[in-house]
């Protein structure tokens, strides 16, 4: 199961990537004396488009085989059965195991995916005082 980003976030990366690429192309084409930093706009455009493609394909979280994975540049993975407590604060869920914790930013998650995530986290067998889901 994939927990998806909000579409607004993905569109942001796409639109800004296109804008940076257009701006960079205009600078490169119209400027007679190019400096190294003139290519920065093109770099930012490629970076934003790359982020859009990566986040569109991988999405925010993956829940498979008893593990929850946060898909970022350095993937964080946690076993669902090892989660000892779930707390909430400032728009984030904090999943804690014995030696690690994972912060999930709820504001980045699509509404339908947030419902699915809440169902999965609510179904974990935990003590009533250790979770935000009652």
| pTM score of the predicted model | 0.82
pLDDT tens for each residue of the chain, 134 residues long: 999 999 999 999 999 999 999 999 998 888 888 788 888 999 999 999 999 999 999 999 999 999 999 998 889 999 998 999 999 888 999 999 998 999 999 999 999 999 999 999 888 877 767 777 76
CA distances to 34, 58, 84, 112, 130 from 2, in Å: 44, 8, 22, 11, 25
């Amino acid at each position: 199961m994939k927990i998806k980003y909000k579409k607004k976030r993905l569109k942001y990366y796409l639109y800004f990537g296109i804008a940076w690429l257009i701006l960079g192309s205009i600078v490169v084409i119209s400027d007679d004396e190019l400096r190294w930093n003139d290519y920065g706009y093109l770099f930012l455009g490629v970076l934003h488009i790359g982020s859009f493609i990566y986040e569109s394909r991988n999405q925010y979280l993956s829940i498979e085989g008893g593990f929850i994975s946060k898909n970022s540049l350095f993937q964080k993975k946690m076993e669902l059965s090892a989660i000892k407590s779930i707390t909430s604060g400032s728009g984030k869920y904090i999943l804690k195991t014995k030696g690690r914790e994972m912060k999930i930013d709820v504001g980045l998650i699509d509404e339908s995916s947030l419902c699915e995530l809440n169902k999965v986290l609510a179904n974990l067998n935990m003590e009533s005082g250790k979770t935000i889901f009652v």
